[in-house]
Amino acid sequence: MITLGIESSCDETGLALYCTKRGLLSHALFSQVDLHALYGGVVPELASRDHVRRLVPLTRQVCSEASLALNDIDAVAYTSGPGLAGALLTGAMMAQGLAWALKKPALGVHHLEGHLLAPMLEDKSPDFPFLCLLVSGGHTQLVKVSGLGQYELLGESIDDAAGEAFDKTAKMLGLGYPGGLALSRLAEQGDASRVKLPRPMMDRPNLDFSFSGLKTAAITRFKAFSGSDADKQQFKADLAASFELAVVEVLMGKSCRALKQTGLSRLVVSGGVSANRLLRVSADALKSENIEVFYPRLEFCTDNGAMIALAGALRLSRGEFSELGVVINPRWPLTDLSSTGRPVE
């Protein structure tokens, strides 16, 4: 079965073709970073309009790269939530319209399920069950994954997600938008031991996260600096390194605690922040403790059509599909996702 996956939940338009026998056939992505950088953040209306411009050309592109015609597609999967309402609507309407025209089934996919399953696009992929550290700009969660649709939320951020804290801290340091990657690059030039920052909630036995206070502490240290301009640049790098290390130590500390509590021996790290070099180095260190560690390839850490095509294909193969009609779920907690891929009534 060949599934076309459509991702349009925020500021990236992703299309992909996935075959249940041959794997990923093709994929394409258009990022709106340059568009939104002018405003310092995502502008929902502009995001929606740009998805409309990109969806059809990208569909043609992935079909061409896979040497397939539209009629060769067996099903269409699309992100139906969570995300920006207008952006979700563009992908949902495209998917449902195309599926209706081709007389093929369509299926709305949970965005976070796509991230959870993204490492299964790799040759070395995890078997169920596993623990997933899902860490991105919008979500930081620890999820026990027992099977497709069998997800138990063990802990999550009670305020800013890790990626959001990265971006907000970077913006305050004058690193632009989106700043997470810029902050990580700057951190490579810094001394993480120079600035002492807290490790929020590590003294609590639960598996929840909090990064708002850490962000505030970093900004407070920066505003209090009174050295020369030359030393200020080095201090900024040192602060970035200290901030990055604090975030990674909290993420891995809670992940290790969750592995012990669940008895699981497989860890999946996914979402945009899973591309962070220091986080990967820290997670890989668990291999010496007989923990298997898995990630998506770098291009599939952020939002993409491949993960939606995969998640959709797995569920469509079980006979699941969405009724004709455009239904989106902008606020759709993973805990409200039933084993059949639909929101819990």
Q: How confident is the model at residue 343 (pLDDT cuts 50, 70, 90)?
A: low
Determine contact, residues 300/121, Cβ cutoff 8 Å.
yes
**Sheet architecture: strand order including 130-135:** 150-156, 140-147, 130-135, 266-270, 292-294
Among 200, 199, 216, CA closest to 165: 216
Q: What is the pLDDT of residue 229?
A: 80
pLDDT in tens, 262-315: 999 999 999 999 999 999 999 999 999 999 999 999 999 999 999 999 999 999
pTM (2 d.p.): 0.94
Which of 40, 269, 254 is CA-nearest to residue 136? 269
Q: Give the pLDDT confidence of 229-244 residue by residue, as tens digits.
A: 879 999 999 999 999 9
Determine which of 5-19, 120-134, 221-235, 271-285 has the lowest per-residue pLDDT on average: 221-235
85/208 Cα distance (integer angstroms): 27
Pairing of strands 130-135, 140-147: antiparallel
Whole-number Å distance between alpha carbons of 133 and 128: 15
Rounded distance, CA 298 to CA 179, Å?
17
Identify the pLDDT of residue 335: 85
**Residues 203-225, mean pLDDT to the nearest whole number:** 94
pLDDT of residue 345: 40
Question: For position 338, what pLDDT does the model report?
Answer: 63
DSSP calls for 206-271: S--B--HHHHHHHHHHHHH--S-HHHHHHHHHHHHHHHHHHHHHHHHHHHHHHHHHHT--EEEEES
Q: What are 36-78's pLDDT values in tens digits?
A: 988 888 999 999 999 999 999 999 999 999 999 999 999 999 9
CATH number of 129-295: 3.30.420.40
- Give me the pLDDT at residue 112, please: 96
Q: In the chain, pLDDT over 90 holds for what percent of residues?
A: 89
Q: Which two tokens stand for residue 230?
A: 């030359």
pLDDT at residue 149 tops 90: yes
264's CB contacts (< 8 A; 6+ apart) are: 129, 130, 131, 144, 258
Which residues, other chains included, contact 48 with Cβ-Cβ below 8 Å and sequence gap of 6+? 84, 86, 87, 89, 90
Sorting pLDDT into bands at 50, 70 and 90, what band is 337?
A: confident
CATH (one of 3.30.420.40, 3.40.50.970, 3.40.50.1820, 3.40.1180.10) for 2-117+300-336? 3.30.420.40
d(CA 170, CA 182): 7
Higher pLDDT, 342 or 344: 342
Using the structure block, give the residue that is written with the tokens 């002018």. Answer: 38
Is the bond preceding 105 in cis, omega lying within 30 degrees of 0? no
Q: Could you tell me which of 128, 65, 189, 113 has the C-alpha nearest to residue 341?
A: 113
pLDDT over 70 at 159, yes or no: yes
Q: For the chain, percent helix, then strand, then coil, each to nearest 5?
A: 45, 20, 35
Question: Is residue 333 pLDDT above 50, yes or no?
Answer: yes
Rg (CA), the chain: 20
Residue 60 vs residues 4, 24, 78, 258: alpha-carbon distances, Å: 11, 16, 16, 43
Report the alpha-carbon distance of residue 255 to residue 249 in Å, rounded: 10
- Supply the mean pLDDT for the chain: 95
**Average pLDDT, stretch 27-43?**
93
Q: What is the pLDDT of residue 230?
A: 79
Residue-range domain boundaries for the chain:
2-117+300-336, 129-295
* Predicted pLDDT at 344: 45
